[in-house]
């Protein structure tokens, strides 16, 4: 049976439109991650933009700035992981699990 090129094109266009919609929706969704026992919290959107960083004043030790830097990095990396997981799950729903190179 020969595939109908018109139907394939329509399906591809619909998938492309759905992916664009999901990418737009990800801008308004967010994840929050914390590190250092909650001393540092990072909020990031689903399209990987850091929206806020909250640092408990108790985490600020002028004699150990490196520790605070490590905690901020850890919270940011966890937020990034969560945002990528969110985006991947939403895109997978649109693409039917197909791995499309260059997507997210």
Q: What is the CATH number of the domain that holds 52?
A: 3.30.1310.10
What does the pLDDT read at residue 4? 81
pLDDT for residue 85: 94
Per-residue pLDDT, 9: 85
Residue 70 lies in a domain: yes
Domain-embedded: residue 69: yes
The answer to whether residue 8 sits within a structural domain is no
pLDDT of residue 33: 97
Q: Does residue 1 fall inside a structural domain? A: no
* pTM of the shown model: 0.76
Residues 75/33, Cβ–Cβ less than 8 Å? yes
| Range(s) of the domain holding residue 59 | 30-95
Is 13 a domain residue? no
Greatest CA separation found in the chain? Answer: 73
One pLDDT digit (tens) per residue for the chain, 104 residues: 666 888 888 888 888 888 889 888 999 999 999 999 999 999 999 999 999 999 999 999 999 999 999 999 999 999 999 999 999 888 888 877 666 555 54
Query: Do 28 and 61 meet the contact criterion of CB atoms below 8 Å apart?
Result: no
Q: Give the pLDDT confidence score for residue 72 in this predicted structure.
A: 97
- State residue 97's pLDDT score: 65
Structural domains in the chain (count)? 1
Question: Using CA of residue 85, residue 35, residue 52, residue 67, what is the dihedral sign?
Answer: negative
The answer to whether position 40 is within a domain reads yes
Both tokens of 59, joined, read: 């985490």
What stretches of 1-104 show up as alpha helix (H) in DSSP?
A: 5-26, 65-95
Residue 101 is assigned to a structural domain of this protein = no
Residue 15 belongs to some domain of the structure? no
Pair 91, 104: CB distance under 8 Å: yes
Please give the Cα distance from 91 to 104 (Å, whole number): 8
What pLDDT does residue 2 have? 66
Whole-number pLDDT of residue 102:
55
């Amino acid at each position: 049976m020969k595939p109908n090129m018109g139907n394939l094109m329509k399906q591809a266009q619909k998938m492309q439109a759905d992916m664009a919609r999901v990418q737009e929706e990800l801008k308004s969704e967010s994840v929050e991650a914390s590190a250092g026992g909650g001393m540092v919290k990072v909020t990031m959107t689903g399209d990987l933009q850091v929206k806020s960083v909250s640092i408990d004043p108790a985490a600020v030790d002028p004699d150990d700035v490196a520790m605070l830097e490590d905690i901020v990095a850890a919270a940011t990396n966890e937020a990034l992981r969560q945002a990528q997981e969110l985006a991947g799950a939403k895109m997978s729903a649109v693409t039917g699990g197909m791995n499309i190179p260059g997507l997210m």
